[in-house]
Structure 1
Amino acid sequence: MELRAGQGWRVGWRNDQFYAGLVGAEDWATELTREEFKAFVNLFRQLHGQLQAIAPELMPQEMITLSGSNEVVHLELEGYPHSYSLHLIVLGDRRVEGTWPAPVPPDFLLACCELQDRIAQGQSLE
């Protein structure tokens, strides 16, 4: 398994498993299917991009909540453009919830995106 971790987060991938992805925080983790992992990363990237796009319109003390869903995951990002929490709900045949408290480190999103890009390019992660 390729596992990356930082303060308050971890993300991993194992090609040979049905639940190939792993995401988690300090005190919890869950495995995700390939589809769930891809949906999670795409939605996380989208919400982060939306937050950065509207950041100039916000007052410094103004908090914001952005949420989004697709067929398999629901995410909610809450806080400030520079410091927000992230809440995950996995939809479908099993229910999983988890939260990364603020501030979600930028390197968590970066690690998720890099891992997804390597998977999409077919690079071996084992």
Structure 2
Amino acid sequence: MAKILKQGPGWRLGYHPEAGSYVGLLGGDNFAFELTEAEFEEFRRLLQQLSETIVAITPELMDEERITCEVESDRLWMEADGYPGNYRIRLILNHGRRCEGEWSPEVVPNLLQAVKMIEVF
């Protein structure tokens, strides 16, 4: 598989399976860090889980009701905070290295689309 780098204003997502220890890259306006294969797979899974959870609970919310939704594994903690269709994502890598990042609501739809397009399995 070839090296993949997807990016846009406020976000970067990379995957290079032959890079050695760190095959994934996450970045934003004010952060960038590399991920192991397991961390990258976990990031993709948790981001998808957050997105699906927000879609599932949206019909139950009142207009203008703010949501905060968290998901966690032994490697990552992630949070979506805002309104359905307009929320920020925070990420903390809590295994080994300690890294933290955040994507603004304007960036999240593009990031979600890019994550879906990268097939690593």
TM-score, length basis structure 2: 0.91
2:8 matched residue in structure 1: 6
Structure 1 residue 45, shift from structure 2 partner: 0.3
Give the stretch that moved more between structures: 34-43 or 22-31: 22-31
CA distance in 1, matches of 2:50, 2:117: 17
Name the one with the larger strand percent. 2
Displacement of 1:94 after TM fit? 1.1
Q: 2:25 aligns with which of 5, 22, 26?
A: 22
- RCO higher in structure (CA 8 A, sep ≥6): 1
The match for 1:110 is 113
After superposition, the C-alpha distances for 1:25-67 in whole angstroms (9 at most, x for unaligned) are: 1221110000000001100100110001111111221100000
**Partner letter of residue 73 of structure 2?**
N
Shift of 1:103: 3.0
Q: Structure 1: which 4+ aligned runs deviate by more than 3 Å? A: none
Residue of structure 2 equivalent to 1:119: 120
Identity %: 38
CA distance in 2, matches of 1:109, 1:49: 11
Unpaired runs of at least 5, structure 2: none
Distance in structure 2 (CA, Å) of the matches to 1:104 and 1:78: 13
Aligned partners of 1:90, 1:10: CA distance in 2, in Å? 17
Conserved 8 A contact 1:84-1:104: no
Check the 8 A contact 1:9/1:100 in 2, yes or no: yes
- Aligned-pair RMSD on alpha carbons? 1.1
Q: Is the 8 A contact 2:9 2:107 kept in 1?
A: no
TM-score after normalising by structure 1: 0.88
Structure 1: distance between partners of 2:64 and 2:89:
19
**Alpha carbons 1:23, 1:30 under 8 Å: kept:** yes
